[in-house]
Copies of this chain bind each other. A is one copy, B any other.
């Protein structure tokens, strides 16, 4: 958009009261904005949000199973395969057949993977700090807690 806002050009503001009065729409806009910024920050490290979240989970859960991660991240198994395969090709992740049950893939980070995730976490911390600065520590913590409450709900199943 040009530097002059629509308001500057004398246009009437949109009445957005209904949508902005709903949690659903507002969560959606927040997610778009936060991810837009996040994707841009992470691009320098050649990581997508999904890849970053996978690396984080393997870092804190060495030897975890692929299907377990996919389920938690709401990524369908067939879509999860090329994600992990890509990370393995880049020497960030190691896949190993479980010895107790050879159907499973146990996942580990390589030394390089640990370095990459450590640096990427700094990028995330920067964004989180930016948000905390704008909201204030107390409101930020309350926001996170409320969101975690929503995240734990099983909306479709509860109906």
Contact = CB atoms under 8 A, between A and B. Distances in A.
A60 interface: yes
A87 interface: no
A4 interface: no
A151 B53 contact: no
Interface in A122-140: 124, 127-128, 130-131, 134-135, 139-140
Interface in A33-67: 33-38, 40, 49, 53, 56-57, 60-61, 64
A153 interface: yes
A82 interface: no
Interface residues of A, number: 65
* Copies of this chain, count: 2
8 contacts: A17-B60, A19-B57, A23-B144, A24-B35, A24-B124, A24-B128, A29-B74, A29-B151
Interface of A: 1, 6, 11, 14-38, 40, 49, 53, 56-57, 60-61, 64, 68-69, 71-72, 74, 121, 124, 127-128, 130-131, 134-135, 139-140, 142-144, 146-151, 153, 155-156, 158-159
